């Protein structure tokens, strides 16, 4: 746990590693239909902007015309050290730079403060999912970073950390997951607050959602119902993810064949785009209004030199 907190502080201090697509305000991505049939099957969605400080980016949109097919998650071919950078653009202005990184690790349950013994029966292969965001042009101090540790085999969350700093305030939120419950600790200038929430089956941490949906089978109308813990808001929300049609999405890296994924909360929805090919990387998010979008601008399948400017 101390190791995780140190790593999160390092993320905050770097400024260039910048979380989470699910909290950012993404306009329609430039895209061309894979076919006219696929194009007709797709709906234009509306982005409901909740702001950087809100844990979920949720939008209003149209349902798929095909009946849903309930599926199970199947982990993609995760890449140790994978690094992705996105620009969050509104009306052709880049507002934020958003970074995501995946690292492989192992740990012994109940002993997060010490290194595990690799290969022992009690050690658990894990993924460390880090995200961070920083403003591109604003002169005001702002840093938003998160780290989620999940089990590599079944993708269950083990714990998460989320830190937000501004010129006048800062706070850190920690969520620790145990069977049937989550303990949320919020530390700020006003003191420490601890609450415990019961967790239903199929519950995940909000910060891991952009990574989690990479494990969704990208077949038309595939559907997954699940819940997310939003530590920032100290509550649990139901979500439904449903796979839409195939289309090309234009990015700084060229056109990428993707499937859209509709992520719904009651009365709200967000559309994400995942590459059809393994390891199903997140390519972007889009809105109906055309005012804001999130675009993939850099990708490395292996560990990236942190001294390198992420904008290159």
Tens of pLDDT along 229-254? 999 999 999 999 999 999 999 999 99
Give per-residue pLDDT as tens, 198-213. 999 999 999 999 999 9
Tokens for 138? 């604003």
Q: Once rounded to an integer, what is the mean pLDDT over residues 154-162?
A: 97
In this predicted structure, which of 31-35, 76-80, 115-119, 235-239 has the lowest mean pLDDT? 31-35
**What's the whole-number mean pLDDT along residues 86-98?**
91
SS3 annotation, 116-155: CCCCCCCCEEEEEEEEEEEECCCCCCEEEEEEEEEECCCC
For residues 270 and 45, give the distance between their C-alpha atoms in angstroms, rounded to a whole number. Answer: 8
pLDDT of 140 reads 78
Which strand (E) or helix (H) includes residue 4?
helix 2-14
Q: Could you read off the pLDDT of 282-291 as tens digits, one per residue? A: 999 876 565 7
Cα 224 to Cα 159: distance, rounded to the nearest angstrom: 22
Q: What is the pLDDT of residue 206?
A: 95
């Amino acid at each position: 746990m101390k190791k995780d907190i140190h790593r999160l502080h390092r993320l905050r201090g770097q400024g260039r590693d910048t979380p989470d697509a699910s909290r950012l305000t993404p306009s329609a991505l430039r895209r061309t239909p894979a076919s006219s049939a696929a194009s007709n099957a797709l709906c234009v969605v509306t982005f409901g902007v909740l702001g950087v400080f809100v844990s979920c980016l949720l939008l209003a949109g149209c349902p798929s015309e095909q009946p849903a097919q309930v599926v199970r998650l199947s982990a993609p071919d995760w890449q140790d050290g994978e690094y992705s950078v996105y620009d969050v653009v509104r009306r052709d202005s880049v507002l934020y730079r958003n970074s995501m990184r995946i690292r492989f690790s192992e740990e012994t349950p109940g002993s997060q403060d010490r290194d595990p013994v690799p290969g022992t029966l009690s050690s658990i292969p894990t993924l460390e999912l880090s995200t961070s965001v920083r403003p591109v042009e604003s002169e005001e101090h702002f840093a938003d970073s998160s780290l989620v540790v999940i089990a590599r085999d079944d993708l269950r969350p083990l714990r998460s950390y989320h830190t937000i700093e501004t010129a006048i305030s800062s706070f850190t939120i920690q969520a620790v997951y145990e069977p049937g419950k989550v303990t949320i600790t919020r530390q700020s200038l006003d003191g420490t607050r601890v609450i415990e929430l019961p967790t239903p089956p199929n519950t995940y941490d909000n910060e891991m959602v952009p990574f989690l949906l990479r494990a969704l089978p990208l077949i038309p109308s595939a559907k997954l119902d699940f819940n997310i813990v939003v530590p920032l808001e100290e509550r649990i929300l139901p979500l439904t993810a449903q796979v839409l049609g195939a289309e090309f999405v234009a990015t700084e890296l060229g056109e990428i064949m993707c499937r859209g994924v509709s992520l719904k909360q009651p009365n709200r929805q967000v559309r994400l785009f995942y590459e059809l090919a393994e390891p199903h990387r997140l390519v972007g998010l889009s809105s109906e209004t055309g005012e804001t979008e999130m675009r993939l601008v850099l990708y490395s399948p292996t560990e990236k030199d942190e001294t390198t400017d992420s904008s290159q």
